[in-house]
Amino acid sequence: MRRLFRAIQPTCVQDCVFATAMIRPVAMSGRQKAAMFQDWSKEAVQDSIVFEDDAIEIISSIIGVDNYEADMYRRAFAKKNDEKILEFVERLGNNPRKQEAMAALQELSGFGLCRAHAVNLGRLIWALAYQKAHNPEAFWRANLKHCEGSYRGWVYQCEAHRKGIETKPGWWQTGFPRGFGVRQQWLDRVEFAGVIANGRVFRGRNNRWVTFVTLGTNYGEYIDVTIQKPFGYRDGDIVIGSGKVKHSNNSDYIQTTDAKLLTWSEWNGRNTKTPS
C-alpha cells in the first residue's frame, strides 16, 4: 500500500478511494499486482475491474441486461457457480469482447470492494492522514491504544517515541542498532539490513513468487525490498542481504534473491551495539 500511494501520489479523497480498491485481489490478480508495483500507471489499469461495480457495468453492457441481472452473474463468478457461469458464456456467444471479459471476470473469486465500501475507507484514510499531519501527538497516542494495522507494533512505538510520547519499554527507546541501512557494495549493488516493518507475498508471472518487505533502518527511515522468491519471516526478524537498486513510480527499492533472516541475538553477535 505504501508503494501504491507513492505511485498514485494522492492529492484528494478520490485518489484514496481508488487505492483502497486497487490493492484488493479482485482489482489486480497476483500476476498483475506484482507488475503494478514495478510499473504503475492509470492507463495500465483503466480497463481493469477495480470496484465490484465495474464488473456489473461490464456484464450489463456486453450482454445487454439490467444491473440487477448483471449482479447475479457477478455473484456467480465470485462464488464459482458453474451453472450460472455457463449460462453467461452461452449468452456471450461470439462477442468480440468475450476473451477479455472472461479473463477479467474470473478474478472475481478474490476479495474485492464495492464502490460504497471503498468510499468509506478512502474517507477514513484521508481523515487519518490529515490528523497525522496536523495533530501528530493526538494521532500517535490514539495509535498506541487502538491501532492493529499491517505494520508491526514496534513501528507505532517508534513513531510515538519520536513525538515524545511515553511508550512501552523496548529497544526503540535507546535507538536502532548500528549497522542497519544501505551501503554500496560495488557498481549498482548494495548491501542492506533492517528490521521487518511490513510485508506481503504475491504470486507473480509464470507462477513465480515475489515477496515485498519494508524494513526499518532508523527513526522514520524505511527501505523497500523486493525478494524474488517466497520468503518467510516472523515479527521482529532482521533481514540482511544484497541486491540492485531500482526506481519506479516515484520510489526506490532494492531487488534481490539474496536475503537472509537473523534474530536479534544473532545480530548482536555480529555487532557491538545491542538493543535493550
Domains belonging to the chain, first-starting first, are 2-109 (no CATH), 142-173 (no CATH), 181-270 (2.40.50.140)
Q: 54-63, 162-171, 214-223: which range is least confident on average? A: 54-63
Question: What average pLDDT score do residues 155-172 get?
Answer: 91
Structure confidence by residue, pLDDT tens digits, 82-140? 898 888 888 888 888 888 778 777 766 655 567 778 888 889 989 999 999 999 999 99
Under 8 Å between Cβ of 217 and 181: yes
The pLDDT value given to residue 48? 59
Question: What average pLDDT score do residues 48-60 get?
Answer: 76
Tell me which residue has cell 544484497.
242
Neighbours of 13 (CB within 10 A): 16
Q: 87-91, 211-215, 264-268, 272-276: which range is least confident on average? A: 272-276
For the chain, the distance separating the N- and C-terminal CA atoms, rounded to the nearest angstrom, is: 31
Question: What average pLDDT score do residues 235-249 get?
Answer: 88
HSE-CB at 92 with a 13 A cutoff on CA atoms is 19
Question: What are the beta bridge partners of residue 258?
Answer: 242
Higher-scoring residue by pLDDT: 187, 252: 252
Cα distances from 258 to residues 44, 131, 185, 208, 242, in angstroms, run: 30, 39, 13, 16, 6
Which grid coordinates belong to 9? 501520489
Q: Determine which helix (DSSP H) or strand (DSSP E) holds 216, and give its type and residue range.
A: strand 209-218
What does the DSSP 8-state code read for residue 173?
G
Higher-scoring residue by pLDDT: 101, 48: 101
pLDDT at 38 over 70: no
- Whole-number Å distance between alpha carbons of 201 and 193: 19
Under 8 Å between Cβ of 214 and 198: yes
The pLDDT value given to residue 45? 52
pLDDT at 234 over 80: yes
Q: CB-based contacts of 254: which residues, under 8 Å, 6+ apart?
A: 182, 190, 192, 223, 224, 225, 226, 243, 244, 245, 246
Q: CB-based contacts of 166: which residues, under 8 Å, 6+ apart?
A: none
The pLDDT value given to residue 276? 43
Closest to 56 in 3D by CA, of 112, 18, 9, 12: 112
CA–centroid distance for 276 within its chain: 31
The pLDDT value given to residue 195? 95
Structure confidence by residue, pLDDT tens digits, 145-161? 887 778 898 999 999 99
The pLDDT value given to residue 274? 43
Cα distances from 45 to residues 251, 271, 273, in angstroms, run: 19, 46, 47
Q: Determine which helix (DSSP H) or strand (DSSP E) holds 186, and give its type and residue range.
A: strand 181-186
Higher-scoring residue by pLDDT: 264, 248: 264
Q: Determine which helix (DSSP H) or strand (DSSP E) holds 23, and give its type and residue range.
A: none
Widest Cα–Cα separation across the chain = 70
- Whole-number Å distance between alpha carbons of 113 and 197: 26
Does the pTM surpass 0.75? The reply is: no
Sign of CA dihedral 12, 17, 22, 27: negative
